[in-house]
Amino acid sequence: MAIASFMVSLGTPVPSFTLPSIGGETVSDRDFAEASALLVVFMSNHCPYVRRIESAIGALTSEYAGKGLATAAVCSNDTANYPDDGADHLREQADRAGFGFPYLVDESQKTARGFNAACTPDFFLYDRERKLAYRG
């Protein structure tokens, strides 16, 4: 890995975010207010670690969606340096992996900085009160 994750303290509130999705809509953390848990995954299309588990992410989040889990993926990569992480390629990835959740584009990387996301995949699981329950 190029960089290690930053370990955010459990109990930290979810950072507010509003980002465009690869589907064309705008998605906010407030859109998931009714979910019993929220998983935010920072990922990319070009990352070999993400590629290795992307289908499992699709299957697992689909299974747990029926149990109240909402999921959002965020790609914060610079598409000039990583053209495979452009929106068209993210759409291909979402189809390939069976993602049933919004895939968001964080072009400014402001959201990634707010979460202290540093690598891909980077997982942040929040409980019903939107406090960090798992980080990994």
pLDDT digits (tens, 9 = 90+) for 77-106: 999 999 999 999 999 999 999 999 999 999
Bridge partners of residue 27, in order along the sequence: 19
- Supply the pTM of this predicted model: 0.94
Closest CA to 70 of 99, 121, 36, 104: 36
pLDDT digits 0-9 by tens, 102-126: 999 999 999 999 999 988 999 999 9
Say if residues 77 and 2 touch (Cβ distance below 8 Å).
no
Closest CA to 31 of 46, 45, 14, 43: 14
Residue 42: how many CA atoms within 13 Å on its side-chain side?
A: 22
What is the structure's pLDDT at 3? 54
